[in-house]
């Protein structure tokens, strides 16, 4: 039996500028054709399998999709003023299937599979309540694992349902309050450590001093170099006077070495002399 060809599977099959095979396929539940985009390397056989999975979507699956889409809609109405721009009916939907009047799927993207036997679908489209960011729905093994705005999420990402995704993945919307509380408690127990280098501009000499000079001299990573500088008098002076961050990198390194070898007082005197020579 011969291998299937894309031309036999897709309507108007062809390649786009990214060398991806594209075309159209029937989405039977909605009695319409949608665009199919196959990532480079996807075989015609796997594309055919994906299109069969698309054809197996029934009302129970669509109802699940619509329930999460309804959470997405409600969150937009609760957190923004978009409701003022939408018709009255969309603000009072009771049956999840009613949301279909305000959304649609336009494309199926087929990515290289991690496990080819597991049914997955990567659907995207548009919705009236978020016209700019659209709608993205990922289905794995018969269940929605992501619903939200389009942001190139991958159906094979094992972290889609992690607790910290509750703000972007509306599959987690019913648990949002509990997850917010959980995140707050975790943050309270483990407050984020302040990262000193974020205070300094990317092009400032102090960044070059730490991330190149100091890392090379100390044979360490940039993160470790910043950790070495943290708590020193030199760092305190840099934080107190932002102009010092623009001093010559070699001078900054000499100050660092002087504080390390001779103490902070000697370093501070030397730094004052160097910065007040023209005063």
Dump pLDDT digits (tens) for 113-131. Answer: 999 999 999 999 999 999 9
Region of poorest pLDDT, from 81-95, 113-127, 195-209, 254-268:
195-209
Q: Residue 129: which of 182, 168, 187, 82 has the closest Cα?
A: 82
If asked whether residues 177 and 201 sit together in one domain, one would say: no
Q: How many CB atoms within 10 Å of residue 266?
A: 13
If asked whether residues 67 and 180 sit together in one domain, one would say: yes
Q: Decide if 189 is inside a domain.
A: no
* pTM of the full structure: 0.69
* Strand segments (E) across 39-142: 103-110, 120-127, 135-140
Q: Decide if 1 is inside a domain.
A: no
How much is the pLDDT for 112? 96
If asked whether residues 57 and 131 sit together in one domain, one would say: yes
If asked whether residues 124 and 13 sit together in one domain, one would say: yes
If asked whether residues 135 and 206 sit together in one domain, one would say: no
Q: Decide if 15 is inside a domain.
A: yes
Q: Decide if 89 is inside a domain.
A: yes
If asked whether residues 85 and 27 sit together in one domain, one would say: yes
* pLDDT band at residue 111 under the 50/70/90 scheme: very high
Q: What is the mean pLDDT of the chain?
A: 90
* Strand segments (E) across 117-212: 120-127, 135-140, 143-148
The arithmetic mean of pLDDT across residues 237-249, rounded, is: 87
If asked whether residues 208 and 173 sit together in one domain, one would say: no
If asked whether residues 73 and 42 sit together in one domain, one would say: yes
Question: Which tokens in the block code for residue 56?
Answer: 């197996």
Number of domain units in the chain: 2
First to last CA, the chain: 89
Cα distances (angstroms) measured from residue 193 to each of 187, 188, 227, 229, 233: 11, 12, 11, 15, 19
If asked whether residues 145 and 261 sit together in one domain, one would say: no
Mind listing the pLDDT tens digit for each residue in 127-154? 999 998 999 999 999 999 999 998 888 9
Q: Decide if 88 is inside a domain.
A: yes
Q: Decide if 37 is inside a domain.
A: yes
Q: Residue 184: which of 192, 195, 193 has the closest Cα?
A: 192
If asked whether residues 54 and 175 sit together in one domain, one would say: yes
Q: Decide if 279 is inside a domain.
A: no
Question: Which tokens in the block code for residue 233?
Answer: 């008098």
**Cα(43)–Cα(8) distance, integer angstroms:** 13
How much is the pLDDT for 198? 64
How much is the pLDDT for 83? 83
Using the 3D structure, point to which of 142, 157, 184 is the last residue of a domain: 184
If asked whether residues 111 and 169 sit together in one domain, one would say: yes
Using the 3D structure, point to which of 129, 153, 184 is the last residue of a domain: 184
If asked whether residues 42 and 174 sit together in one domain, one would say: yes
Mind listing the pLDDT tens digit for each residue in 191-233? 755 555 667 887 888 888 888 889 888 888 888 888 888 889 9
Q: Which helix (H) or strand (E) holds 272?
A: helix 264-275
The arithmetic mean of pLDDT across residues 31-36, rounded, is: 97
Residue numbers of the domain that contains 129: 6-184
């Amino acid at each position: 039996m011969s291998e299937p060809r894309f031309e036999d599977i897709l309507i108007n099959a062809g390649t786009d500028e990214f060398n991806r095979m594209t075309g159209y396929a029937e989405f039977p539940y909605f009695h319409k054709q949608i665009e199919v985009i196959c990532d480079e390397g996807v075989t015609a056989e796997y594309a055919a399998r994906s299109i069969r999975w698309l054809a197996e979507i029934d009302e129970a699956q669509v109802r699940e999709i619509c329930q999460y889409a309804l959470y997405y809609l409600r969150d937009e109405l609760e957190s923004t003023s978009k409701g003022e721009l939408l018709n009255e009916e969309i603000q009072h939907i009771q049956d999840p299937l009613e949301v279909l009047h305000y959304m649609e799927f336009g494309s199926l993207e087929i990515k290289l599979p991690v496990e080819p036997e597991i049914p997955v679908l990567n659907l995207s489209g548009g919705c009236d309540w978020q016209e700019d960011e659209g709608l993205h729905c990922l289905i794995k093994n018969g269940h929605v694992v992501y619903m939200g705005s389009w942001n190139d999420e991958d159906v094979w990402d094992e972290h889609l349902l992690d607790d910290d995704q509750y703000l972007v993945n509306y599959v987690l919307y019913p648990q949002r309050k509990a997850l917010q509380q959980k995140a707050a408690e975790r943050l309270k127990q483990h407050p984020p450590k302040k990262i000193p280098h974020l205070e300094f501009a990317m092009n400032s000499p102090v960044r070059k001093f730490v991330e190149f000079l100091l890392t090379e001299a100390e044979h360490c990573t940039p993160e470790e170099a910043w950790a070495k500088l943290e708590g020193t008098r030199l760092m305190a002076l840099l934080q107190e006077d932002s102009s010092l961050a623009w001093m010559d990198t070699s001078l900054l390194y000499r100050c660092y070495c002087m504080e390390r070898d001779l103490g902070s007082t000697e370093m501070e005197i030397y730094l004052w002399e160097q910065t007040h020579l023209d005063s």
